[in-house]
Amino acid sequence: MKKTVCAAALCILLFTAAGYSQKKAKDASAPIKVIDQNNMEVTIPQKPERIVLTALPLPSIYALTGEPIEKLVGMHPGSTSAIKNSVMSVMFPRLLKVPSNFINGTDINIEELMKLRPDAVMYWAEYMNQYELFKSAGIPAVGVKTQGGGDVIVTMESWLTLMGDMFGKSKKVDAVLAFGKQVQKDILTKVEKIPADKKPKVLYVFNHSSDSISVSGNGFYGGNWIENTGGINAAREIQGHSIVNMEQIYKWNPDIIILTTFTATMPEDLYENKIRGQNWSNVKAVKNKKVYKEPLGVYRWFPPSGDAPLMSMWMANLMQGDVFKYDMKKEIKDYYKKFYQYELTDEQVNGILSANPEAAKGAGFGGKH
């Protein structure tokens, strides 16, 4: 009798274990649901194997998740051009072969996209016309938006968290998030104690040519970088970004000018007055040789990118050199080794800090960046 009871109990245990294993196996393949930044629920495969990223900075954020680069099967040509002219082309050479022929600016060729057989697409959430195309084709589409009124650190953290949810990599991204938050906290704590009269007036030139000058105002990336690291945005009266003329720049007369990698213009072009129809020689920042080209790492450092915490340090050094003493070469090497699992050479670090004019080629982004 005792043996019979034991045998029955063993059968029940085995049956239960088998049922649990089957349930677990079933759950492991079940689709998952995420809430995107349009506040819409999106159902994607539990383990998406083919990812398309149409928002330009996203490949650099994706690189921090630990997901295989091979899963990226499509991206925007603006991303490709930035990668081609950056250290990311050496870190992840396969990205140079990722197709981008399915998108031109903001226009999607859905037939070409379908050939990539994507499991999920991540896109700029403002472009609902794209969403409707993805939806009609049955492609799960996850929208992203700039967060925090153009705050790059807040945006980068929100995108990384969303990707962590999508790919089941939340533990992997926690360390990156913690590092970025700590850097931001340390800088803001010190900046809050700096009086206004000790803060330089800074102009962030977003795009530039002999035909137009576009600057970053309030609620846009450049303005936030300046204000969050100890400067005063000369163009804070402007909302977003806007085209201005030289008369307006003379009026602002900034102490510092920063040039993005969305423009081919270099500091020497302003120092030597090479821009046809523009005279920069009497602008304070130009006279004092305080025009700087932002770095280019895994992506352009102006918008959200995987290098956003490093940009905070670089900007803090630039805005308040007496307060912040970040050793940028060491910080960059340490960050890449820890979070991208890549050891940079001294030459590569110098390349990141000395963005080349070629980086601006093909930077068309159709209104977003």
The pLDDT tens digits of the residues spanning 226-264 come to 999 999 999 999 998 999 999 999 999 999 999 999 999
Q: Does 179-346 match 29-171 at the fold level? A: yes
Rounded Cα distance between 95 and 82, Å, is 11
Burial class (CB in 10 A: 0-12, 13-18, 19+), 103: buried
Domains in the chain: boundaries = 29-171, 179-346
Tell me the C-alpha distance between 180 and 346, whole Å. 23
For the domain covering 179-346, report its CATH number.
3.40.50.1980
Q: What is the pLDDT at residue 361? A: 56
Confidence of residue 170 (pLDDT cuts 50, 70, 90): confident
- DSSP states of 37-101 as a string? TTS-EEEE-SS---EEE-STTHHHHHTTTT--GGGEEEE-HHHHHHHHTSTHHHH-GGGGGS--T
Q: How confident is the model at residue 172 (pLDDT cuts 50, 70, 90)?
A: confident
User: Would the pLDDT of 353 be above 60?
Assistant: yes
80-128 pLDDT, tens digit per residue, is 988 988 899 999 999 999 999 999 989 999 999 999 999 999 999 999 9
17 falls in which pLDDT band (50, 70, 90)? Answer: very low
pLDDT digit string, tens, across residues 265-310: 999 999 999 999 999 999 999 999 999 999 999 999 999 999 999 9
Fold of the domain built from segment(s) 29-171:
Rossmann fold (3.40.50)
Residue 150 confidence (pLDDT):
87
